[in-house]
A and B are shown apart, each in its own frame.
Chain A
């Protein structure tokens, strides 16, 4: 098992190995470890030269923070709190994540921020509902999370009070969110696959963790747990009750007939292979997220998506 750098915080349930045992490793495992370390190094060097704030700004776009945390419809300030996100479990309002001390996250320490992103907990210990994709962000490197914080804290604070979520009584307690977390969540940092090339690993990191594509494209069960057997296979009940398409390599229901170019072009401009342009929720994802990515990152996403097995027939794309 490769050794990940350990975070300095004891409470973080990581899978790192503080003892870093080398004795007893077979040559093959050692090789795997070295290759993985190499990939991690490549990862951390991708944006070498950019400051943390610049890198964080890029990651905030790639992480889709803006789409949910900005109230476009109501003319709210950037990242000062979002429009209603209507789900099968109630209506959520993403909070203010500008550095305003009173209404935003201005008083948060690095540890507070890491705990929110990796563990889904507020500084006061209350649990986030999994509508905040901490389940995906748990895979982010600590460097990336800290760069995101650096960027957010470089923004002008906006004073805007958070709106309370509108939830049914049985979900209105944060204890429900805690119970959900206990049952269905394990914090796992992303582990590059040493047998794959760097773009594939970068794509996996972007799709599963930073971009959290599965939050909409993977169906959920009645308890809101994403169905890992149907990962990215389309979701009949996405946000706002909309159907979300299959993005696996299934040639009929998914994007199996799309070339890498077509996927990259779609992520950049929103143009489908037939010349149509997407609308709906994906339109914001393109405007706020994927159009801001580097060509290399869009290529990485395409590389990774095209490597996924075609989803088996079923309720793909909610059809």
Chain B
């Protein structure tokens, strides 16, 4: 019994020592990778949402899942662009990023664009709950406009999108 308690104590102690490390800032490369993962997740949910909303998929029972996910992932947008993840001339290890310097150079404008997206996503989430498809499509269009508005000013055009397929 005593040995077991000692074991637990050891684990807790080691855990406590590790805590500060876990709280430390992520490496910029990992931040960029995570950002891409979240954005790709967002695209996937948007895509799934639309397939249902436009009745191509018979899955109304799942629509809310995707509406919630879009709102939740939008909620992360504030924290996805820390200063050290701005594009740099960087080493070869740094993942490619389409994030434009304007995100950091015009941080207030960027914050406003993020807020707009979060509000539009929250409205979409609420509207999805209503089940009124006309309203859902309207809310979706507004959320799409917010996505597009932010991409227009703060994301480099994905000119190499097709390269990946070659």
Contacts of A253 in B (CB 8 A): 162, 165
Contact A252 B166 (CB under 8 A): yes
Counting chain A CB atoms within 10 Å of each CB, the highest count among B140, B141, B148, B149 belongs to B148
A65 to B56, CA, bound (A): 35
Binding site for A on B (CB under 8 A): 42-50, 54, 56, 140-141, 144-145, 147-155, 157-163, 165-166
Contact A319 B144 (CB under 8 A): no
| Minimum C-beta distance from B13 to chain A (A) | 46
A278 to B154, CA, bound (A): 12
Q: Which of the residues B54, B140, B148, B161 comes within 8 Å of A286, measured between beta carbons?
A: B148
Q: A243-B159, A253-B162, A276-B46 are in contact. List 13 more A-B contacts (CB 8 A).
A: A252-B165, A253-B165, A273-B47, A274-B43, A275-B47, A275-B48, A277-B46, A277-B144, A279-B148, A279-B151, A283-B149, A284-B152, A317-B159
Interface size class of A (residues with CB under 8 A): 20 to 34
List 7 interface pairs A-B (beta carbons < 8 Å), by A numbering.
A246-B162, A252-B165, A268-B141, A276-B46, A278-B151, A317-B161, A317-B162
A274 to B45, CA, bound (A): 10
A49 close to B (CB within 8 Å): no
Instruction: Please give me the residue from chain A that is nearest to B39 by CB atom.
Output: A276
Contact B157 A242 (CB under 8 A): yes
Contacts of B56 in A (CB 8 A): 261
Contacts of A268 in B (CB 8 A): 141
Q: Which of the residues A271, A281, A287 comes within 8 Å of B50, measured between beta carbons?
A: A271
Contacts of A101 in B (CB 8 A): none
Contact B159 A275 (CB under 8 A): no
Contact B45 A275 (CB under 8 A): yes
Contact B162 A275 (CB under 8 A): no
